[in-house]
Structure 1
C-alpha cells in the first residue's frame, strides 16, 4: 500500500529525489493517499504544539508543513515507506554487458596514455549505467586491469578484499605478502584484506585480468583505506603452492566430472585456508553449460558479475520488476546481474561446452541471514 500524502511534491523532489525516479527502467509515482487525514485528525495526532512549528490551525498548505519540519532534522517516513520496505528486492543496478571486443582496444590504448606506475592501478572500471563508480552491481566492483611487459604496479595494501580472474596473457605475477604467484589465463588470485601486494609482468605480451572487489560495501561502512609500501615491490619469493592462487584446470576437472550425463554444473570456490567462501564479503563460482543446453531458471538474493571463460551463448535475465533481457556473450565478455534477477544460461555452440566464471556477494548475504534461492518453471 502506498503511503504518500498529497501536496508535498516540491518537498519530495528536494529531499527525496529517489522517490520519483529510482533508475531509468521504473518509477515510483507520487499520488494521493486514498485515506487522507483531515485537519482535525492532524490536530489530534500532533499532540504538543511548537511555538516555531506551524500548527494545523495555522497551516495553510501541507507543503508548508514539510518545509517547516526540514529545519528540525526530521523527515516524514510515510512519504518513503513503500521505498524503504518494498514488496520485493529492489536493486538499483541494472543488467549490463561489456563485450571484450569493445573494451580491449581502449584498454590497450590506456597503456599508451598512462604507465602502470603513474596510474598505480591501470584499470577500466565496469560502471553500472544506473549508478556510478564504484558500482558494477549494488555490492560488487569490477574492472579490467592491464599490465604490460616489464611493468610493475606498485605495492600497496587496503582494507577491501580483492580477487582477480586472469583474462589474457602469461608470465604475469601478483606478489601477496611475500609470495610471488605467476598468473595464467583462468587463474583466480586472491589479495586478502590488508595484505601487501603488487603486480608485474615477465612475459612478452599484455596481461589482462578482471578485478572483483567489495568496494561498494565501504560506501556504507566507511572504514576502507589504503597504505603504499615504501618501495615499488614488496620483498617476495616464487611460490608454487599458495592458498591465494586457484588455477583453472582443477576447477574445470570438477565441472566436467559428469559432463556426459549432466548438461550443467556449478563449482563454488572455497578458501584453501579454511574451506569456506573466499572471503566474508565476496566469492567466486564457475559454471559449465553443455552445447545446446539451457539451464534452469533460478533467482537468488545475490548479485553477480559474470565473465565468459570459454564458449558462446546467451543469458535470459528477468529483473525483480519483471523486465526480461537477453545478453548475448562469447569468450572474455563480462556482464552484471542484479540481485533477485531470474537467470537462465543457454549455450548456442554445436559442440563442446561454455564455461562461465562469476564474482558473487553470497558470503555477505549468507552471513546476514538474507540468502534465498528459488527455482522457477
Structure 2
C-alpha cells in the first residue's frame, strides 16, 4: 500500500542519520557549507568606543553650546565644555560622550566650535562591543555558512572554520539498453549535476544490466564507498529492482509513495547506507528526486527543515493533476506568477530546462487560474 508524501518525509527524518564527519576549511571555501561546530567571539568589537562621524568628540552639557577644542596629549578625562577633533572610526578619548558631525557645527573659530541647540547625548558613537560582544555566538553548529557570516568570523581574525563533510552520493543506473549503450545515461548526469548544485559530491556513476545478483553486488560496492546511493530504473512491474524490493531482499523503509509522477520511488537501507530508488522515466526521476531526494540530502547535511523554502505565487494557467496524491507540477515563476510547463508526464526528457521550479498540490484534480500556490525554486530566486 503506497504511503503519503508526508509519511515518506517523516521516515527520512526518523530513519536517516545526518553525517558526522567534518573537516576544516579556509573561510572562502567554507561558503555555502554546513558548520561543523559552534564558534564564539574571542573579543568585543569594537574594542573601544569609536566615532561614527568625521567631526568632534565633546564632553557634553545641555547648557553649553560653545566648546573649546583641545590638542594632544589630551587630559583624562576630557573636561565638560571641551572637545577634540576626531575622524570616522577613531577611538573616543575618555570623558568625550557625544560626537558632533563636522557638517552640523554651526560655527568654528580656531580652537572653538558652536554646536546646534538640538543635540542628543551619545549620538554618533559606537560603543565597545556594540558590533560583537565578547563570547557572542557567531556561528552555530549545523548552520548554513553564508557570505554574511564571514563578516563576523573574519573580523575576529578567524581564517579557518570546521564544516560538515559533503555527502558523497553514488548513482546506479539500471537498464539493459543503458548497459548496451543503445541510449545515453541522461538521468545519471542530471542527478549528478543536481546533487553537486545542492552541496553534495559524486562518488561513482555505474551502469548495470537488469540482473538481481549484479544489482546487489554493485549496491554493496557503492554503499561501502558512499554516504548514500541513488538508483534509477527497473521499478516497473516485472523489473529486477522492484522484485528485490517486493521479496524483501532489500528491506524498504518505504515502497511506493502517493506522489506524481514518481509513485514507484522507494527508500531502503543497505549496510546502514540509505538507497533512494527512483523511476527510470526522465521527468519522473527528476521530480521524484526533488520531492524525496532533496529532503534526503538536506537530512544528511543536518538542515533543520528538510523541505526547501517556498514562495506563494498566482497560477496563470489552469492545471490538471492527479487526485489522491501529491502532484509535482514543473513550471516557471517570475517571483509573483506561475506558469506550468506545457507537458509534465513522467516520460518527458528536456522539459525542466524550461523551468526554474515546481509547485506541489495535494488531492486536487484541477488548479484554477488565479489561485495562490506554493512554488519551490530549483536554485536561488532570480535577482530582479
Report the TM-score when normalising by structure 1. 0.28
Instruction: Look at both structures and tell me which one has the larger radius of gyration over its CA atoms.
Output: 2
